[in-house]
Amino acid sequence: MDRVTVSEAAERLGVTPDAIRQRVRRGTIQHDKESDGRVYVYLDKSHTPPQDAHDDVVYALRDQVETLKTELADWKAEAQRKDTIIMSLTQRIPELEAPSEPRESPETTTETAESPTPERRVPWWRRIFEG
């Protein structure tokens, strides 16, 4: 059994000193208190995680963080690409909209046997709206 301070115990167990203090309060870790108020914790080999397992977890987390950073960059690029497409399409909307005025019917010329001059036809909408 090793007698260590709260901060040393926290470092060896891979937790915060507050977590060790909570364990002391709950009585889940063996400890004693000196007359000056300093708390010491008793740790044996079962209380210290193997360093290799800790390192493996750290490396795995670092790899996962890197993967997530790459995915985030990919998503940002995809969003930028889609924004560009949407912007170009919205700029084309005025080109695609129908004109606000109705189109005129083409004027036709017909020649009749009675009159040698061509006759002009008035578009149907002018007949209706103009009289």
- Answer whether residue 87 shows pLDDT above 80: yes
- Asked if 40 and 65 sit in the same domain, the reply is no
- Asked if 31 and 53 sit in the same domain, the reply is no
Half-sphere exposure of 69 (CA within 13 A, CB side): 6
Q: Report the number of distinct structural domains present in the chain.
A: 2
In this predicted model, what pLDDT tens digit does every residue of 45-68 receive, in sequence order? 776 655 666 777 888 898 899 999
- Answer whether residue 108 shows pLDDT above 90: no
- Asked if 76 and 57 sit in the same domain, the reply is yes
Residue 120 falls inside a structural domain: no
- Asked if 14 and 43 sit in the same domain, the reply is yes
What lies within 8 Å, CB to CB, of 19 at 6+ separation is 10, 13
What band does 123 get if pLDDT is binned at 50, 70 and 90?
Answer: confident
Instruction: Assess contact for 91 and 98: CB atoms under 8 A.
Output: no
What band does 112 get if pLDDT is binned at 50, 70 and 90?
Answer: low
Residue 102 has phi, psi (to 5 degrees) of -70, 150
Question: What number is the average pLDDT over the span 98-114?
Answer: 61
- For 2-39, letters b (16+ CB in 10 Å) and e give eebebebbbebbeeeeeebbebbeeeebebeeeeeeee
CA pair distance 72, 78, nearest whole angstrom = 10
Residue 20 falls inside a structural domain: yes
- Asked if 89 and 53 sit in the same domain, the reply is yes
- Answer whether residue 111 shows pLDDT above 60: no
In this predicted model, what pLDDT tens digit does every residue of 66-80 receive, in sequence order? 999 999 999 999 999
Domain containing 56: what range? 49-94
